[in-house]
Structure formats: structure tokens, C-alpha cells
Amino acid sequence: MEVKGAALASVPVFVLRKFGPEGLSRWLNSLSPRAHEIYKGTIPSGSWYPLEEVLEEPLQKICDLFYWGDLRGAREGGRFGADMALKGIKRLLTKMSPPEALLCKAGALWRSQYQPAQIKVRSPQEGKALIHLIGLVRPAPLVESRFWGWLERVLEIGGQRRVKVRITRSLTQGHPYTEFIATWS
């Protein structure tokens, strides 16, 4: 599985803003040589990278270094990534979209950043939607957590209140896809 550079760009910015220059240095020094090389400079937004080495390992290091191993670090990083991705006119358009349309657009945006993963919005209703993350080639709890936070924040940026997202099925639990239920008011 691969991830586009544009999706990676928020990761070091998240670490810097949340944990300062010392935290960023600690995190960078904990990475494999390849991941360190990619993250220490400007990440080309259009390039594709191997997901495991360049996203999962760095997310795991964030969780280990700053969140006592809790996947909440990946989730918070996903929320931050949504904020970075939806700036300016994109943020305005997000706020103008009904949540069901917003989820479909969010799925297309996610699909453009992760190969071969896809987001399928199933049975959208007023105040609720079922979302399937499919196409992961192996269990990826860090990617699931990152998407969880990203999805949650996209809905909040869209003006939804009391947003709750939960995972009801997961590839890590042996299901063929990861299922999220998102609710809002």
C-alpha cells in the first residue's frame, strides 16, 4: 500500500506544533533512516511512498514517544491532517456542503492520497452515516485511527456538532474492511 506525499506533510508539522522543536527532533531521530530522510526535508506532495515505512512507523513512534503507546496519537494526527488539508476555499466549500455530500467528497480526497484504499459511504441518513474503509492489504490500526480522527474533524469543519465516530468492524479483528459509524447533529 502507498501514501502520497501530500498526506505525509502534516505529520512533522503536527509533531512540531504539539511537542515543540525538541519533540520534533526526538521524533525524527527515532525514525528509520529512510523515513528520517523523507521527513527532515520538504516532502514532494505528488510522490508516492510505502505506507508501512513512511507513515505507519512514524505514527507508531508518535504514539510511543508522546502518547504512551496509545493509538490516540494517530487519531489526533488525523484531526490535524484534516485541518491542514482543508484550508481557505476548501474550508469554505466544506462548510457549505451537506454532511452526506461532504462524506462523499472526503472519500474521494482520501482515495487520492492512499492506494489502493477506498472509502465507501453506506446508507447516509440525517445525522448518521456508515463508512467503510476498504482496500487495505493487511491490518493497519494506525491508518484506521488516523482516518477516524480525520473523518471526525472533517465533519466538525463542515459545521456538524456533537460529532462521534466509532469503529464497529475492523480489518485488525478479521473483518474484510473497517467500518465506521459517524453521528452528528
Alpha-carbon distances of 135 from 114, 176, 177, rounded to whole Å: 10, 9, 7
Q: How many other CB atoms are found less than 10 A from the CB of residue 162?
A: 9
pLDDT band of residue 62 (cuts 50, 70, 90) is: very high
Q: How far apart are CA 63 and CA 87, in angstroms?
A: 26
Position 109: which residue type? Answer: L
* Residue-wise pLDDT tens digits, 36-61: 999 999 999 999 999 999 999 999 99
Q: How far apart are CA 170 and CA 141, in angstroms?
A: 8
* Residue-wise pLDDT tens digits, 2-30: 999 999 999 999 999 999 999 999 999 99
